[in-house]
Amino acid sequence: MTDQRAARIARLIKPLRVKPGSKVNLAKDFDPGYKAGYVKKKDASQIMRNGIAMLCDYQARLAAQDRYGVLVCLQALDAGGKDGTIRHVMSGVNPQGVHVTGFKVPSAEELDHDYLWRYARHLPARGDIAIFNRSHYEEVLVVRVHPENLDRQKLPEDAKGDGVWRRRYREINDWERYLTDNGFRLVKMFLNLSEEEQRTRFFKRLDLPEKNWKFSAADVRERQRWDDYQEAFSQMLSATSTPWAPWYVIPADHKWFARLCAAAVLVHTLIDIDPQYPRVSQERHEQLLLVKGELEAQAPEGAPADPFAARQATKAGAAHARASEKAKASPPAT
């Protein structure tokens, strides 16, 4: 991994980060159609492939090191592209190290617990990446826009009232700080869609028979609360973008650009963690040499003592021969 590549990623995501302590006005501060100077999907496709390859490499190291875990929280309005983002960004990683959980309307059992309980049950283990498709942030979004959700939560009287959202922001920030202090990093992304692009995507679900199953009349009703959601998102971003777990507002009107940014934000966090393959101790290394000697002594007649090393040497020899053939075919210009 070159420092240049890390610097390019940092540059790409910088304008998307919500500065901790800043007051966000979503409509004014973030453009859903932003493309960072890229014009078409194909301009970014090689960078996307590189990003996916980097994710794959980092995830393998994260799992081998088994010290840090990563929690990705994805929020969006309906048709914001959460599912597609997960599908594309995680397309190269080992499925054993990634767990995706979608959060829907809470069940009776979930409502019988504190509001963070159901999210805590799906946190990543060390070495894992967990993805929340919707997250604990619904507790200050849909629950805020539709207060009847709060009524269903069976809270004691003095836990409701005016201060409830401010208190939830504080509790969420504290919880995330606790997780970060214990080796679990949060990657929080809000896919920011424009009202007109959402309308277009609803039409896609209405017009294409293979997309009909995805259409929900409830989503169209929810759209009537657009301004309330924009306000709830703005307040949430202002109150919960912290130095330990900042928010990124991902421009979502161009799906290919949203996916590129989501991959970049995740890679950026992994670069920062910089997980390493564990090195064995000197003592263990000496044990390995002893076992090696025993296995070498078991080589059948005519077989190399270390067949793996022999195979590697053959491969390296063939590659060298190919390179000199190529050099001979096109000698350097004099």
Residues 211-270 that bind ligand AMP (CB under 6 A): none
Q: In what order do the strands lie in the sheet with 247-251?
A: 98-102, 129-133, 69-76, 184-192, 247-251
Q: Exactly one of 104, 221, 284, 326 binds ligand AMP (CB under 6 A); which one? A: 104
Q: Which residue is nearest to ligand AMP (CB)?
A: 138
Pairing type for strands 98-102 and 69-76 reads unpaired
Q: Exactly one of 35, 56, 99, 103 binds ligand AMP (CB under 6 A); which one? A: 103
Rounded CA-CA distance 334/332 in Å is 6
Rounded CA-CA distance 18/240 in Å is 9
Stretch that binds ligand AMP, among 131-139, 179-187, 261-269, 287-295 (CB under 6 A): 131-139
Question: Taking the complex as a whole, how short is the minimal distance between the CB of residue 79 and Mg ion, in angstroms?
Answer: 8
Question: Taking the complex as a whole, how short is the minimal distance between the CB of residue 107 and ligand AMP, in angstroms?
Answer: 10
Q: Exactly one of 128, 139, 176, 253 binds ligand AMP (CB under 6 A); which one? A: 139
CB nearer Mg ion, residue 78 or residue 176: 78
Please choose which of ligand AMP, Mg ion, none residue 328 contacts, taking the beta carbon within 5 to 8 angstroms, the exact cut-off set by kind.
Answer: none
* Site residue total, ligand AMP (CB under 6 A): 11
DSSP label at residue 134:
S
DSSP label at residue 227:
H
Q: How many CB atoms lie within 10 A of CB 199?
A: 12
Q: Does 168 bind ligand AMP (CB under 6 A)?
A: no
Q: What residues pair up with 248 in beta bridges, in sequence order?
A: 17, 189
Question: Taking the complex as a whole, how short is the minimal distance between the CB of residue 139 and ligand AMP, in angstroms?
Answer: 5
Q: Exactly one of 1, 7, 53, 105 binds ligand AMP (CB under 6 A); which one? A: 105
DSSP label at residue 331:
P
Rounded CA-CA distance 154/267 in Å is 40
Three-class SS of residue 245? coil
CA angle 198, 203, 206 (to 5 degrees): 135
Report the chain's terminal Cα–Cα distance, integer Å.
34
Stretch that binds Mg ion, among 16-24, 53-61, 73-81, 114-122 (CB under 5 A): 73-81
Question: Taking the complex as a whole, how short is the minimal distance between the CB of residue 56 and ligand AMP, in angstroms?
Answer: 27
Q: What are phi and psi of 292, to 5 degrees?
A: -60, -45
Q: Which two tokens stand for residue 81?
A: 């592209």
CB nearer Mg ion, residue 36 or residue 142: 142
Q: Which residue is nearest to Mg ion (CB)?
A: 78
* Contact residues: ligand AMP, CB under 6 A: 102-106, 134, 138-139, 142-143, 149
Binding residues for Mg ion, per CB under 5 A?
78
